[in-house]
Amino acid sequence: MKLSELIDAFPVRQYRRKKDARGTLLPDPEIRSIHYRSQDVEPGGLFIAVSGFRTDGHEFIDDALARGAAAVMVQKTVERNVAVVEVSDTRAAMGPIAARFYGDPSRRMTVIGITGTNGKTTTSLITESILKQAGFSVGVIGTIDYHFSGKHYRNPVTTPESPDLQRILGQMRDAGVTHVVMEASSHAVDLHRIDGCWMDAAVFTNLSQDHLDYHGDMAAYWACKKRLFIRHLADGPKADHAVAVVNRNSPEGRELASMVRSGLITVGYTDDNTVWVTDDQSRLDGISGRLTMPGGSFLFRSPLVGRHNIENILCASGAALAAGVPPAAIQAGIGLLRNVPGRLESVPNAFGRFIFVDYAHTPDALENVLMAVTALSAGKIICVFGCGGDRDRKKRPLMGEIAGRLADLAVVTSDNPRTEDPMAIIRQMLPGIKQAAGREYGPEDLAAGVNDKGFLIEPDRRRAIRMALTASRPGDVLLIAGKGHETYQIIGEKTLAFDDRVEVVEALKRL
């Protein structure tokens, strides 16, 4: 595609073409690829210089040119003899430009975006299961990976940067995908990653504290979430049929439902919603209940554990309803999803322990999973958890208090400490733990089991898992929280191989 064609629908400050040695303007360059990292630039590519949190892409223009960039897009004045497109905000321009380059793939598929602090991944995979049961070809983009046509690909962030997102959507379109289910994080909304990705439906799961290191406060975080519905969904090219699916089981959900300008499907526990649940039950082997919606009412059963997953099922059912799926396919799709990686994922064992690995890394998520397993077991509850480094520090004492209050033994350890001192993170968690947990255990106390409510500090996550297992007895629940599906641990600047599921299996061999 010619550069002038790529940018003709987007407001630009100026477009300067490259000149030859005699000062003659060279022809409009053909753009063969789009890049925002100079090390990825290919000959004939357009390099978009984005000012990031740590580095400024404008500093890497020469590197991009050395790698064969045919043109650069900037938001600062740049003097280079190359085709230069200057815009007011390169990050805001990147999504629409990438969408045009890849042929606006989201317009040719049904796209369902899912946002909320917790439940995005589980809701996405339930929705995928339902849509497949209805006979559609489905692609999923989310925290665990992105996948379509039976193939799975690594996804380093929940919602990819806009050129990556548009490339993935283009691949899905070319592979015959009809429906895309994607997680839309608050970062994705605020950083324009989903600009140029047009949704037929957007789903709101819930809101609780997270990402305050980025947003600053809950008001800004909530305002960002609402923009997906109030502006992005309502003002796009699919606005005439776009639908907001809102979980009204919270004040935020009720507020959002009153504000949306698109079509609306609400879900919840009362019959004033479009989709509602009754007779719900939660056990260690799964959840069940009756769903009622336009077109029918049916009993459902799911192997997923925890009452919070009933709300995820409600949200997925609302999304499917927005896509025109009949109740029979919704019922079948709910039951067919056997598990979600790293979401109360059970670790089978021959020692009579109920062991779960979960991604819970926010106060609300940790409380949900602890309440779920507490209600289902008469044994002791042992929770291994930590808080991520270089992230929201305000949630650390909150998570400490929750674990101290709901677990019989809270084993405080490292999550992904990143560049912070692991013990410094733990010290910020301790006020909440000490408020609720009682005595402090030492490693020498564990062989006798957990007799009194308390906590244990062990910054090494591998040792913490082994200590927690040592303290457990048959019938006890061991919850290893925070990392879920992740197969790495970030310590300092290094990313090391680490999988909670693998670690607990190895620890079981020592029991």
Single-letter amino acid, residue 195: D
CA 433 to CA 49: how far, in whole Å? 45
Any known ligand binding at 417?
yes
Name the strand (E) or helix (H) holding 279: strand 275-283
Any known ligand binding at 116?
yes
Any known ligand binding at 509?
no
Any known ligand binding at 343?
no
Sheet strands side by side (includes 110-115): 151-153, 146-148, 138-141, 179-183, 110-115, 201-204, 243-247, 263-268, 275-283, 286-293, 296-302
Handedness of CA 394, 224, 319, 321 (dihedral sign): positive
CA 464 to CA 495: how far, in whole Å? 19
Any known ligand binding at 30?
no
Any known ligand binding at 394?
no
Cα–Cα distance list, 24 to 20, 84, 86 (Å)? 5, 15, 20
Any known ligand binding at 185?
yes
Please work out, in degrees rounded to the nearest 5, the angle formed at the alpha carbon of residue 231 by the alpha carbons of 225 and 232. Answer: 80
Any known ligand binding at 492?
no
Any known ligand binding at 176?
no
Q: Find out whether 346 and 159 touch, Cβ atoms under 8 Å.
A: no
DSSP annotation string for 4-59: HHHHTTS--SEEE--B-TTSPBPPPPBP-EEESSGGG--TTEEEE--B-SS-BGGG
Any known ligand binding at 38?
yes
Any known ligand binding at 196?
no
Any known ligand binding at 122?
yes
Any known ligand binding at 309?
no
Any known ligand binding at 416?
yes
Q: Find out whether 481 and 385 touch, Cβ atoms under 8 Å.
A: yes
Which of these, 474, 509, 473, lies nearest to 352 by C-alpha position?
A: 474
Any known ligand binding at 391?
yes
415 DSSP assignment: S
Cβ neighbours, 10 Å, residue 283: 10
Any known ligand binding at 159?
yes
Single-letter amino acid, residue 49: A
Q: Find out whether 17 and 26 touch, Cβ atoms under 8 Å.
A: yes
Cα atoms in the Cβ-side hemisphere of radius 13 Å centred on 61: 22
Q: Find out whether 393 and 428 touch, Cβ atoms under 8 Å.
A: yes
CA 383 to CA 477: how far, in whole Å? 8
Q: Find out whether 329 and 127 touch, Cβ atoms under 8 Å.
A: no
Which of these, 379, 433, 365, 368, lies nearest to 404 by C-alpha position?
A: 433
Residue 273, both tokens: 């919603």
CA 126 to CA 300: how far, in whole Å? 13
Any known ligand binding at 249?
no
Any known ligand binding at 377?
no
Any known ligand binding at 155?
no
Annotated binding site for meso-2,6-diaminopimelate: 391, 415-418, 482, 486
Question: Annotated binding site: which residue ranges?
Answer: 38, 116-122, 158-159, 185, 193, 391, 415-418, 482, 486
Residues tagged in the binding site annotation for ATP: 116-122
